[in-house]
Structure 1
Amino acid sequence: MREIFLVEDDQAIREVLEVFLSSENYSVKTFGNVEEFKSRDTDITPDLYLFDVMLPDGSGIELCQEIRSNQDNDGVPIIIMSAHAKLSELSNLCKPDDFISKPFDIDNLLSRIDRIIK
């Protein structure tokens, strides 16, 4: 089973994504903020990172930079989600494998995740 690490501060979005992705046979580990994410078991490397940009104690961009700088994560794709930022604003800071604008269509999100992971 493919594993996704999701960092999203909006509890409703986090729960919907967890339920939906779990129903599509993904194992989903969720984090509500940067601190929770940094407290994770770093011995586990997921198949995909899914980060919101604006978090209460940091940003998904910073997490993206951190993941990209760690060789243990080589080849692990990152998708960034944001209601405010645009991919062109992020590309100099971090190069995600995909960018999803919020609000998003859940079926579109799933097809993009499937394409990147498989």
Structure 2
Amino acid sequence: MRKIFLVEDNEAIREILEIFLTSENYNVKSFATVEEFAARDVCETPDLYLFDVMLRDGSGIDLCRQIKEDHDNKNIPVIIMSAHAGLGHFENLCEPEDFIAKPFDIDHVLEKIRNLLN
């Protein structure tokens, strides 16, 4: 079962993504804050990271940059989600494999995830 780490501070969006992706046979670990994500078991690595840009205590862009600079994680795909920016707004700040604009179509999210993991 493929594993996804999700960082999203909006509880409703986080729950919808977690329920939907779990129903599609993904193992989803979700985090509401950068602090929760930082406290994760770093020995456990996902197959994909899914980060919201604007978080209560930080930025998904910063998380993306940390992942891409980490030798052990740099090849794991990152998808960034945002309601306020497009891919061009942060291309030079981090290099995610894909971008999802909010609000999103859940089937479109699934398609992007499948494309990156297959």
Q: Which amino acid aligns with 2:71?
A: Q
Following the alignment from structure 2 to structure 1, what is the Cα–Cα distance between the partners of residues 60 and 13? 15
Following the alignment from structure 1 to structure 2, what is the Cα–Cα distance between the partners of residues 21 and 51? 15
3-state SS of paired residue (2:4)? strand
Tell me which residue corresponds to 2:43.
Answer: 43
Provide Cα deviations, 1:3-29, integer angstroms capped at 9, x if missing partner. Answer: 000000000000000000000000000
Give structure 2 stretches of 5+ with no counterpart.
none
TM-score relative to the length of structure 2: 0.99
Provide Cα deviations, 1:69-88, integer angstroms capped at 9, x if missing partner. Answer: 10110310000000001100
Provide Cα deviations, 1:11-53, integer angstroms capped at 9, x if missing partner. Answer: 0000000000000000000000100000000001100000000
Following the alignment from structure 1 to structure 2, what is the Cα–Cα distance between the partners of residues 21 and 108? 12
Provide Cα deviations, 1:81-116, integer angstroms capped at 9, x if missing partner. Answer: 000011001101001000000000000100110000
Following the alignment from structure 2 to structure 1, what is the Cα–Cα distance between the partners of residues 59 and 105? 23
Q: Percent identity?
A: 63
Following the alignment from structure 1 to structure 2, what is the Cα–Cα distance between the partners of residues 74 and 31? 20
Following the alignment from structure 2 to structure 1, what is the Cα–Cα distance between the partners of residues 75 and 64? 13
Tell me which residue corresponds to 2:96.
Answer: 96
Following the alignment from structure 1 to structure 2, what is the Cα–Cα distance between the partners of residues 63 and 29? 15
- How many residues are paired up? 118
TM-score relative to the length of structure 1: 0.99
Following the alignment from structure 1 to structure 2, what is the Cα–Cα distance between the partners of residues 92 and 69? 14
CA RMSD of aligned residues (A): 0.5
Give structure 1 stretches of 5+ with no counterpart.
none
Tell me which residue corresponds to 1:16.
Answer: 16
Tell me which residue corresponds to 2:109.
Answer: 109
Tell me which residue corresponds to 2:72.
Answer: 72
Tell me which residue corresponds to 2:82.
Answer: 82
Q: Is the 2:68–2:75 contact (alpha carbons within 8 Å) kept by the matching residues of 1? A: no
Tell me which residue corresponds to 2:60.
Answer: 60
